[in-house]
Copies of this chain bind each other. A is one copy, B any other.
Amino acid sequence: MEAKRSLLAIFLLLSFLSISTAAPTRKTRTRKPCKSMVFYFHDIIYNGHNAKNATSAIVGSPQWGNKTILTGQNHFGDLVVFDDPITLDNNLHSKPVGRAQGFYIYDKKDIFTAWLGFSFVFNSTQHKGSINFAGADPLMNKTRDISVIGGTGDFFMARGVATLMTDAFEGE
């Protein structure tokens, strides 16, 4: 019963919409993101033996599942809560610049797919505030886009997409 450990790279394309925007009169229509960022986050799921290291835990499961082993049928129905460190490179032991906090639910029987709702929470000299994400995450695709649904602080009114990539995967 080895711990499942995954490392995700996330590429952010953020747009900040301002209200009652006074626009120039030219008809040009540019669509460049105001900010683009790359982060890594590290997920270690609780398996009954790693309470100290685990950054996530199963908190809901279907009738045939349990809370320490992800179920069969591609984990369909398992609900996982996480609080993962965010780093600027792919080293778990780098100094975290924030936390990725939220949940995912595996939602398909025949392939790995999840629905994500989570936030990046920053409280450093570079960034203060949070970015909120939601959407479908088809885990078997090399890159997957989810929506930026809002932000607070430095990320007030943020919108756009975040591209997720599994950088490394251990266990199972």
Chain A residues within CB distance 8 Å of chain B:
15, 17-34, 46, 48, 57-63, 65-68, 76-79, 81-83, 99, 101-103, 105-109, 113, 115, 117-119, 121, 129-130, 132, 134-136, 138, 145-153, 156-157, 159-161
Contacts and interface: CB of A to CB of B under 8 A. Distances in A.
Given A20-B31, A161-B152, A130 B119 contact: no
Given A19-B17, A25-B22, A25-B25, A121 B136 contact: yes
A136 B151 CA distance: 10
Nearest to A113: B101
A59 B149 contact: no
Given A24-B27, A83-B109, A145-B152, 11 more contacts: A18-B29, A19-B34, A21-B21, A58-B62, A58-B63, A59-B60, A59-B61, A60-B79, A81-B106, A101-B107, A135-B152
A15 B59 CA distance: 35
Residue of A28, A59, A63, A153 contacting most chain B CB atoms (<10 Å):
A59
B132 A134 contact: yes
A130 B134 contact: no
Contact of A19 (B15, B25, B101): B15
B25 A29 contact: no
